Amino acid sequence: MKKYPILEKINTPDDVKCLSRDDLPALAAEARSFLIDNVLKTGGHLASNLGTVELTVALHYVFSCPADHFIFDVGHQAYTHKLLTGRRKMFSTLRSRGGLSGFTKRSESVYDCFGAGHSSTSVSAASGIAEADRLSGNQAHTVVVLGDGSFTGGMVHEALNNLDVSLPVIIVLNENEMSISKNIGRFAKNIAKIRSSRKYYRVKRGTAYFISSIPLVGRHLFNFIKKIKQKFKDRMYGSNYFEDMGLYYLGPCDGNDTESLVNLFEEAKQYGRACLVHVKTKKGCGLPEAENNPEKFHSIRPEGSPEFENFGSRAGKTLCALAEEDKKICAVTAAMTDGTGLRGFSEKYPERFFDVGIAEEHALTFCAGLAAGGMKPFFAVYSSFLQRGVDNIIHDIAIQGLPVRILVDRGGISPADGATHHGIFDVAILSEIPGMEIYTPSCFSSLERAITLASHSETPVAVRYSNSPDLEEVLSGFSDGPVRSDFSGTRGNVIVTYGRAVAVALEAEKEIPDCGTVLLEKLTPYRQTAQLISRLVTPETVLVFLEEGVKNGGASMILDSMLENRSRIVAIDGVFDTDANTGDVFSDFNIGKNDIIIAFRELNGN
């Protein structure tokens, strides 16, 4: 007997549309079971996807993707969408090199009309796609699936303010954490139940048609009744933000009930103009452990993968210890309390902890304000998310010389998440900003030292680290200081690197004659770092700079004034990502052990 008898017959969205309404709950149940069975093995975003199963099934039943466009904000809740669009057999490769992406990705499927990995971009993209459809005469709907958490990102509100409400854009607001709606109580719940029924909308349309058809006064009477109804509703419930923005509001309804969802989506489709469908789902729905602890099951590791304390966790502990002595230290996050290791700080010092929501730009300028007010703010943020706040770093922090401390987590390649999460640009960006100090600790002890030094700095500081375990044992033979080496005197061949790439450098060093490694614990000012390196080399030394970041504008610029004809840069060059799968992610990006060895052979002419 087949475990997924309905799901296994679904290869395209057309197969979903061939089902009866009565079959949809069973399809949703099979899809949920499939996700639990597979994602617990491969790892991935589980809780958010379990909550949006029925929602996605209903969307594919009512709309015609890819003729109609589906945009999933962030993209980490699109697993059911992938299941229903011919990618079921690829799920064993989820979040693996060259396998199924954990997010939506245009190059992966025609059904993914817009790629994502970061939050709050969907409404802007939908507005652009819908405008493009109108200009080209394409009669299509653009559907956005948007979690309530994304509304903490200002870009959503900018897009809503700019959205032409005559466009057929349908925003599905998936409320699964914080309550956006003001309506509470039994009466409001009964009204919501009525408004999600098919009969309600049939009667509503029929009444509107009847009144509007009355000769001479029909249209005026309809508009008058509509205004009276709106005033009564505002008095009872308060003004609705979305209706104030010109959107037709539908809901709220149970987002895990296919019948209610299909009814609302059909009404939204028939309306033909911009509207918002408000649904309420349960994160982790169908898996009790995920329902009770959705944060733990937000993103899970592959089955059997080892757990380790990473740099982010240690950074949070270090900050906690410093904050006990220094009452001016504050911690700031952009909706990443657990991801950046700040859970302990938030519990121990709640009055000095600030989660500003998905708003990196605001977080940085908020930190600038804290610093201007005499506090010592630390903003913990993933490298790829920090990209959103470059102007704020320059305009609000650096130009004013405010001592904001940025803890840049997830620096380097992110194999599971892919291009949207690779932290390969932060060094190139930050190192070009005058006055910015950049620390690049490679072990926990140097991380603690860097954060302590940053707490006393009077200028902007970035402490940049990867999502990796402690490398203390690997570095046992290195000297101390901002520029460390594993040799005394000089060497004919020297690898210069920073961060976790030092482990790759040491592997290559074993196979290169007369070779040593220089480890940079601090990058800027570049001129000062170059002077320290110059003490370890001679004019005859051959240098290879290994960097887990982009080549152009990266830290390898340190070598600009050094040994120009006897140096080589091994860095990520000209790509966002690669589908290569050698088993070693550094080799996939041409910055592996063999790439270092080849560079030395070419420089030495052999």
| Alpha-carbon dihedral sign for residues 331, 335, 337, 340 | negative
Adjacency order of strands within the sheet including 248-254:
69-72, 142-147, 169-175, 275-280, 248-254
List 590's β-bridge partners, or say none: none
231 labelled catalytic: no
Q: Which of 442, 221, 429 is nearest to 314 (CA)?
A: 442
> What does the angle CA 248 – CA 254 – CA 255 come to, to the nearest 5 degrees?
80
Q: Report d(CA 419, CA 106) in Å as an integer.
A: 12
The single-letter DSSP state of residue 397 is I
283 labelled catalytic: yes
Q: Please, are residues 356 and 333 in contact by the beta-carbon 8 Å criterion?
A: yes
Q: Please, are residues 258 and 59 in contact by the beta-carbon 8 Å criterion?
A: no
* Contacts of residue 118, Cβ cutoff 8 Å, sequence gap at least 6: 74, 384, 385, 388, 420
CB atoms within 10 A of CB 399: 14
List 462's β-bridge partners, or say none: 406, 438
Q: Report d(CA 307, CA 296) in Å as an integer.
A: 14
Give the active site residue among 82, 95, 280, 388. 388
Tokens of 581: 């799968």
Give the active site residue among 30, 175, 259, 360. 360
Tokens of 101: 């992406």
DSSP states along 210-274: HHHTSTTTHHHHHHHHHHHHHHHHHHHH---HHHHTTPEEEEEEETT-HHHHHHHHHHHHHH-S-
352 labelled catalytic: no
Q: Report d(CA 259, CA 54) in Å as an integer.
A: 9
What is the distance, to the nearest Å, from the Cα of residue 421 to the centroid of all Cα atoms in its chain?
7
Distances (CA, A) of 462 to 95, 329, 497, 511: 29, 15, 18, 34
List 353's β-bridge partners, or say none: 331
**What are phi and psi for residue 238, nearest 5 degrees?**
90, 160
Give the active site residue among 97, 283, 551, 568. 283
Q: Report d(CA 370, CA 373) in Å as an integer.
A: 5
Distances (CA, A) of 231 to 50, 288, 429: 38, 42, 52
Catalytic residue numbers? 283, 360, 388
